[in-house]
Chain A
Amino acid sequence: MEQVLFLNGNQPQALIHHIMQVTVNGQNRELSPEITTAGNLLAELKIARERVAVVINENVVRRAELDNAALADGDTIEIITMVGGG
């Protein structure tokens, strides 16, 4: 609740930065402050990283770099997996 108030009020930038609005697989999501990387996001969503590839703003993230791939406000994130196909 505190953070929402900060957003609506005229608070210092540093505090506003704690909440990120991103799009994940077409859904708008608000990320809590501790989620700062693609690796964090997968953990938060309980998605096994062995099963997916992550794309941030059309840049494919190397799997080895998932924990270094920083998320920023406004990012468009795609989490891609294998499905049935011919």
Chain B
Amino acid sequence: MTDAIETASALDTKWKVGNHEFTSRLLVGTGKYETFELTRDALEASGCEVVTVALRRVDLDAHSRGEKNLLDFIDTSKYTILPNTAGCFNKEDAIRVCRIARELEIGDLVKVEVLSEQKTLLPDPIETLEACKVLVKDGFTVMAYTSDDPIMARKLVDVGVAAVMPLGSPIGSGLGILNPNNIAIILEESPIPVLVDAGVGTASDVAFAMELGVEAVLLNTAIAGAKDAIAMAHAMKHACIAGRLAYKAGRIPRKRYAQASSPALDF
């Protein structure tokens, strides 16, 4: 199953965020899988090199019963771990979570996500920006989850984040890329990597995002919630590579009318 990755790396360059360099352009979350075994196998099938995690209390009762946890299934030396600030609704909490993450000694990458409310889980742009400002000064390599707003993306660039990650659509919605025009404007202006994070429903959404020219795509639910998570992880891997290569290859212009592929009949 490494063929696709090998083809992609032969035809493509690596991408960078901060001091980190990656071949795979798919980042995959570790939440909501039915089992840890499925989490492990889906990550493997996706070919991802970066996995996101959340930070929570150790469940002391489960631990004392000897129950397994995520870290029994994820080889942290194999994957780059991207801790998120999920569950934070203000800058103080997001900053606190990142400072705790630093003591896990899994690197300097953080995914800053400061949400506004439970119903939409849309990012709170003001709190996000303030958190990013502090965390950049703290020395983190900040990947900022944000709305698909070009102005917000510009402000995040100005405070020194390492990547902007506009949503395709709300977290877990599976609605795909709702505003490709905004993503295109963000891409046109951004001097740093742009990733689509959130909203992917199926493989074509990943291909579409990659065809827009984003550096990479981050997703979770689309794999974890699929009927067959492993098959979907494979599909996402291939869609990501397909979209990237199509972007690099350059699509033909759209035309209103047909243009024959074969020469006109001459006999």
Show the binding face of A for B, using Cβ within 8 Å. 24-27, 45-47, 50-55, 58, 60-63, 78-86
Instruction: State the CA gap A58–B93 with chains docked (Å).
Output: 11
Q: List the one stretch of B100-108, B127-135, B257-265 in contact with chain A.
A: B100-108
Instruction: State the CA gap A79–B103 with chains docked (Å).
Output: 11
With beta carbons under 8 angstroms apart, the residue of A45, A60, A85 that contacts B100 is A60
Instruction: State the CA gap A61–B104 with chains docked (Å).
Output: 10
Q: Interface 1/0s, chain B 77-107, versus A by CB < 8 A?
A: 0000101101000000000100111111110
Contact flag A85-B84 (CB < 8 Å), given A45-B60, A78-B57: yes
Which of A24, A58, A78, A83 lies at the interface centre, i.e. has the most chain B CB atoms within 10 A of its CB? A83
A-B contact pairs, 28 of them (CB 8 A): A52-B58, A53-B55, A53-B102, A60-B100, A61-B103, A62-B103, A63-B103, A78-B57, A79-B58, A80-B55, A80-B57, A81-B55, A81-B58, A82-B53, A82-B104, A83-B30, A83-B55, A84-B29, A84-B32, A85-B30, A85-B52, A85-B86, A85-B220, A86-B31, A86-B52, A86-B54, A86-B198, A86-B220
Decide if A80 touches B56 in the complex (CB within 8 Å): yes
**Secondary structure call for the B interface:** mixed
- Does B63 sit within 8 A of A, measured CB to CB? yes
With beta carbons under 8 angstroms apart, the residue of A46, A62, A63, A84 that contacts B70 is A84
Which chain B residues border A52 with CB–CB below 8 Å? 58, 104
- Does B33 sit within 8 A of A, measured CB to CB? yes
Decide if B71 touches A81 in the complex (CB within 8 Å): yes
Decide if A86 touches B71 in the complex (CB within 8 Å): no
With beta carbons under 8 angstroms apart, the residue of B57, B64, B103 that contacts A26 is B57
Decide if B54 touches A85 in the complex (CB within 8 Å): yes
